[in-house]
Amino acid sequence: MLTLGIIPKSYPLKLTLYILLVIFAGGLISFILIYQSGNILIGKSYTEGIRNLAAMKGLIVQKSMIIYLLSSILVISGVIVITLFYSHRVAGPLYRLSVAAREISEGELSSPVRLRKSDVVHPLAETLNEVSESHSQTINQIISAAISLEKASLKLQDALNQKDDVSFDSLIEELSRQNKELKRIINKIRL
């Protein structure tokens, strides 16, 4: 079974083994109950045994049906409990990851995804946390570069307004450098 590294490869195997163990336990219990219920003396002779078996035929069928029904209920209940337990270890974390992905898409990058130790999809949560952290760092770099660009622009504007003898070339060069830095950061983002 292909799990793409999100769910450990041992997870489906463990689930299958537990289900097979429950089915085997149910079969074993059925065998023991049938053996115990059928362990009766049916007669002293062959003829008497055949006659008693014919008389008990309905009782044997009834007991067998009850035992098979109870064993089936036990096995099906066990399989349902194990399946619910294991699916909860996948479905719950996937729901939390879905909520976290929605928050990230809305711009909320500050809260990392936290899962329980028994949850199965830790690699996916770690990747989502890395994506959130990376985007947060990129946004902070863009904000910092935009602030620097704005400061350089204000310096140039002040110099133009005051008609200072300040070298416009150095101010324009600083503005150009800040613009290139902002472009470099934005170009890291692939759309």
Query: Mind spelling out the 3-state secondary structure of 164-181?
Result: CCCCHHHHHHHHHHHHHH
Q: What is the mean pLDDT of the chain?
A: 81
Cβ partners under 8 Å of residue 14, min gap 6: 86
| For the chain, domain boundaries | 1-90, 121-191
Cβ partners under 8 Å of residue 1, min gap 6: 9, 12
Cβ partners under 8 Å of residue 171, min gap 6: 152, 155, 156, 159
The answer, yes or no, to whether residue 3 has pLDDT greater than 60, is: no
Q: Which two tokens stand for residue 112?
A: 């990392």
> What pLDDT, in 10s, does the model give residues 74-113?
889 888 988 888 788 788 888 888 888 888 888 888 888 8
Angle at CA of residue 158, ends 172 and 183, nearest 5°: 35
pTM of the model: 0.58
Confidence of residue 5 (pLDDT cuts 50, 70, 90): low
> What pLDDT, in 10s, does the model give residues 20-63?
888 888 888 888 887 787 677 777 888 887 888 787 778 778 88
The answer, yes or no, to whether residue 164 has pLDDT greater than 70, is: no
> What pLDDT, in 10s, does the model give residues 118-137?
777 877 888 888 888 888 88
